Structure 1
């Protein structure tokens, strides 16, 4: 889940590892600005531990399982044991300034600045890489940077629009946005992406976190 607090808030979290779990787990909370071990050390199966810190620095951070005092941490994180933490600045966000230039009839370059309210339509994107061989995590692939898939908000291969997008954009569920659109049917909705709708002229704020160990890139078309 996404954790969202304001700068200066006290964050308290209790981690319970159930009986029968094969390994201990920890919780490295990057927004705390402290080291994972011993602060967020391993919690043994059948026990609980409460972690507490003050969110002093605004920003976007990851939190994730720290394995057994950092040992095997990569295996836990790259199999989905992670989340995103947003620390909002105590004084709020700044206004958005949009600056444009244009050439007038006399050939002079003029500059226009517009300021938009700090209130924004917000989205969050969490990226991660998977390293899989025969359905299991493959550490050798991870060290070799040979990722199998990249996930966005926990979903792999979710880049293809579906019938709803076709209807909204083309007025016909069967008129594909892309020529190559194999997962069109709503019966396969669990594999499909969702559009981020935003009206024109609206301030947008996007929180981006990469949980994996490789760079990721994204492009907002039409910004």
Structure 2
């Protein structure tokens, strides 16, 4: 049965996320937007534990309060934002594999909110989809999420209520599940990438208190013109406000890249060889050594890269491209005692992208192209004009008219994804499940098995993916350029024998996209 979903096509101004070191205790109401943070030391590797600052929540029970604030995004540019715990991004939640966790969400905003645990295979009732798994949390009310953190990796959380707007305002943070055996690195940094709009109505609005109530960003719709995003940020900051990342010679360093925005970014690490060790939190088998390559990270995706700090100095990690805004998306990796100015930016240099379809080493996998599947499904993704508006379609239909994928527990499903749009990328995100990428543009993958929950299709690209129906519920499968999702590019994965006790409240204002 179809869920009762409402959509708005709108455009907005920006979100981000800042995360790094580790500590325990409550972050409620704390403004850490100006803090400088150092990396997490793995106590299993060294007793020389690094001093940590309260920017990461650890433990098993957490409190997140959604409220409005203002944050300096770029030098001299303070923007109104919506926050978790008074910061964009919200605090990093860092837990251990196998732990049962509880997150208490309190809404102090003038609009309803939820939390979706992006990439985490939570029980369906904890997925945070208003009108599908829960009613949106009303102003002044609370909701508690409880689930077991089974699968280690790099994930993130964000509102899924009117998400095209609420993410852009800043309602998200990172969520890290550490493996039982430890992280195995000396420094562990998280870089959350995003884009903001510095000009226009949003930059002059007071988004605090009742002034945001009932505000409709659709009045700023520019026909999905993404050039309006003219500030690119790392952890909520742009340009000289971006914090430095300290290392010592000999450190093993992990950098977790999370794209919380609506544009792809081409990330280049200067001065070091590195490996891509995971994508969407799932490990790459025997990753190869890279140098002077860019890692292309699309909306909703995550990539972990690792390197040995063996080249003392100050080295950039930065976005590459011809857009002037890329100049703001760069940070310095600083060796202790290194003199300043030892690296020069060249963000316009055209470097080779890492091809994940040929990266790493083959190994046993769960699925093959040739095996028999319970169900096969084709998703033709496209863009067209209907009734004078741009819409984004799956098999010629917009949600809620799209045909769902109907499954039963234990089914194996092969999905053929085709991007027929002439100029739009479509990063497709499946809730509640991981899928294996089997082929790209008709060619079987040559390297490591690639397991993901978000896969970007550039115009003209085709992929075949496969997954097992092993997490009963009603789930979304949608484009994570949320402008496209809000304009129709959504379908559902529905378990036919799943019985939900959820009842949608028609007065809750549920807006799952």
Please say whether Structure 1 and Structure 2 have the same fold, judged by a TM-score greater than 0.5.
Answer: yes
> Residue 197 and residue 46 in structure 1: after superposition, are their counterparts in 2 closer, same or farther (change >3 A)?
closer
Give the C-alpha shift of residue 127 in structure 1. 0.8
User: Separation in 2 of the partners of 1:11 and 1:128?
Assistant: 27
> Residue 60 and residue 45 in structure 1: after superposition, are their counterparts in 2 closer, same or farther (change >3 A)?
same
- Tell me if 1:54 matches 2:142: no
Q: TM-score, normalised by structure 1?
A: 0.64
> Residue 77 and residue 142 in structure 1: after superposition, are their counterparts in 2 closer, same or farther (change >3 A)?
farther
User: Separation in 2 of the partners of 1:6 and 1:27?
Assistant: 20
- Tell me if 1:28 matches 2:116: yes
Is the contact between residue 15 and residue 48 of structure 1 (CA under 8 Å) also seen in structure 2? Answer: yes
> Residue 10 and residue 31 in structure 1: after superposition, are their counterparts in 2 closer, same or farther (change >3 A)?
farther
Give the C-alpha shift of residue 73 in structure 1. 0.8
Q: How many residues align?
A: 160
Give the C-alpha shift of residue 59 in structure 1. 0.9
Deviations 1:98-156 (A, max 9, x none): xxxxxxxxxxxxxxxxxxxx232121101112245424167635833222221110112
Is the contact between residue 31 and residue 62 of structure 1 (CA under 8 Å) also seen in structure 2? Answer: yes
Identify the residue that residue 187 of structure 2 maps to in structure 1: 121
User: Separation in 1 of the partners of 2:96 and 2:166?
Assistant: 28
Out of 125, 148, 168, the residue aligned to residue 78 of structure 1 is 168
Identify the residue that residue 159 of structure 2 maps to in structure 1: 65
Give the C-alpha shift of residue 197 in structure 1. 2.2
> Residue 120 and residue 141 in structure 1: after superposition, are their counterparts in 2 closer, same or farther (change >3 A)?
farther
Give the C-alpha shift of residue 211 in structure 1. 0.5
1:64-143 mapped onto 2 (5 Å cutoff): 64-67=158-161, 72-93=162-183, 118-131=184-197, 133-136=199-202, 140-141=221-222, 143=224
Out of 197, 200, 217, the residue aligned to residue 246 of structure 2 is 197
Query: Matched residue of 2:265: which SS?
Result: coil
User: Separation in 1 of the partners of 2:223 and 2:234?
Assistant: 18
User: Separation in 1 of the partners of 2:224 and 2:154?
Assistant: 26
Is the contact between residue 196 and residue 232 of structure 2 (CA under 8 Å) also seen in structure 1? Answer: yes
Give the C-alpha shift of residue 205 in structure 1. 1.1
> Residue 13 and residue 128 in structure 1: after superposition, are their counterparts in 2 closer, same or farther (change >3 A)?
same
User: Separation in 2 of the partners of 1:47 and 1:195?
Assistant: 38
> Residue 141 and residue 208 in structure 1: after superposition, are their counterparts in 2 closer, same or farther (change >3 A)?
farther
Is the contact between residue 27 and residue 41 of structure 1 (CA under 8 Å) also seen in structure 2? Answer: no
Query: Matched residue of 1:126: which SS?
Result: strand
- Tell me if 1:2 matches 2:92: yes
Give the C-alpha shift of residue 43 in structure 1. 0.3
Give the C-alpha shift of residue 52 in structure 1. 0.9
> Residue 47 and residue 142 in structure 1: after superposition, are their counterparts in 2 closer, same or farther (change >3 A)?
farther
User: Separation in 1 of the partners of 2:110 and 2:266?
Assistant: 36
User: Separation in 2 of the partners of 1:48 and 1:211?
Assistant: 24
Deviations 1:69-109 (A, max 9, x none): xxx2111101111100111112334xxxxxxxxxxxxxxxx
Q: Which runs of 5+ in 2 are unaligned?
A: 1-90, 203-216, 273-513
Is the contact between residue 185 and residue 251 of structure 2 (CA under 8 Å) also seen in structure 1? Answer: no
User: Separation in 2 of the partners of 1:2 and 1:144?
Assistant: 31
Give the C-alpha shift of residue 49 in structure 1. 1.0
Q: TM-score, normalised by structure 2?
A: 0.29
Q: Name the Cα RMSD after superposition.
A: 2.2
Greater helix content: 1
Give the C-alpha shift of residue 32 in structure 1. 3.4
User: Separation in 1 of the partners of 2:253 and 2:105?
Assistant: 34
- Tell me if 1:145 matches 2:145: no
Is the contact between residue 100 and residue 148 of structure 2 (CA under 8 Å) also seen in structure 1? Answer: yes
Query: Matched residue of 1:74: which SS?
Result: helix
User: Separation in 1 of the partners of 2:263 and 2:147?
Assistant: 29
